């Protein structure tokens, strides 16, 4: 065997190994590509999840199941509402879970922002959560069309400062609640004739003087304030 042939036989395994494996540069390139692909998958997954959340719409069929799950992890129970008259804070009752969850959910979705206190009845109630602005109707359609069942047997009465949910204006023999609106009792000591018909789900714990100021404004036809009273901001207190 010549020296040349011996050399060829000696380098054959090295050539074979080089052809079967990756060079350090190629391996590094493959690793980077895999990491980029992995990050892309994670970003895509997050984007898909966000799109699903944005596309989710509440209905009569899924609302109760949704709020049953939503209320399980709720650690908050206070909402601050700001108007041009000032702010007041509402604390929600834990044992009225669907109505509590609904109010927190709508607040976090920004629904109440730019809605109005559209009904003022002197020495009785102020009612909010609606308006004649198109964007309010648009927000409702994006969140969903649904009603909530009454929950009137938890021992809560319509004392002064209690926040409660009105029934829907549609044909509604079971007094299902309109989830987008609420009213606050101003009467001293309360409006107890409402007990058993509407669902109290919280109470004003700070800023009742602001509620009284709203109740004292001049009103026109249909108990609508002569000057619009907007909810400038509703925010969950974490």
Task: Tell me how far apart the alpha carbons of residues 163 and 231 are, in angstroms, rounded to a whole number.
Answer: 15
User: Which positions ≥6 away from 63 have C-beta within 8 Å?
Assistant: 144, 146, 147, 148, 179
Q: What is the pLDDT of residue 15?
A: 39
Task: Tell me how far apart the alpha carbons of residues 111 and 130 are, in angstroms, rounded to a whole number.
Answer: 10
The pLDDT tens digits for 112-128 are: 999 999 999 999 999 99
Q: What is the pLDDT of residue 180?
A: 96
Name the stretches of the chain with pLDDT < 50: 1-20, 48-49, 51
Q: What is the pLDDT of residue 135?
A: 94
């Amino acid at each position: 065997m010549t020296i040349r042939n011996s050399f060829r036989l000696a380098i054959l395994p090295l050539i074979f190994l080089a052809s079967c494996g990756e060079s350090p540069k190629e391996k590094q390139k493959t690793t980077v590509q895999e990491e980029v692909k992995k990050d892309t998958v994670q970003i895509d997954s997050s984007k898909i999840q966000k799109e699903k959340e944005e596309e989710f719409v509440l209905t009569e069929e899924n609302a109760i199941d949704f709020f049953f799950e939503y209320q399980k992890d709720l650690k908050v129970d206070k909402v601050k509402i700001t108007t041009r008259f000032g702010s007041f804070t509402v604390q929600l009752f834990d044992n009225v879970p669907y109505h509590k969850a609904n109010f927190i959910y709508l607040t976090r979705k920004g629904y109440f922002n730019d809605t109005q206190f559209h009904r003022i009845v002197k020495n009785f109630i102020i009612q909010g959560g609606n308006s004649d602005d198109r964007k309010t109707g648009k927000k409702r359609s994006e969140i969903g069309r649904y009603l909530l069942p009454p929950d009137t047997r938890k021992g809560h009465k319509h004392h002064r400062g209690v926040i409660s949910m009105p029934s829907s204006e549609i044909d509604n023999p079971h007094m299902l609640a309109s989830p987008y609106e609420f009213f606050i009792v101003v009467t001293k000591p309360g409006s107890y004739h409402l007990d058993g018909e509407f669902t109290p789900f919280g109470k004003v714990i700070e800023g009742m003087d602001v509620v009284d100021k709203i109740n004292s404004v001049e009103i026109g036809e249909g108990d609508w304030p002569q000057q619009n009273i907007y909810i400038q901001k509703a925010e969950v207190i974490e």
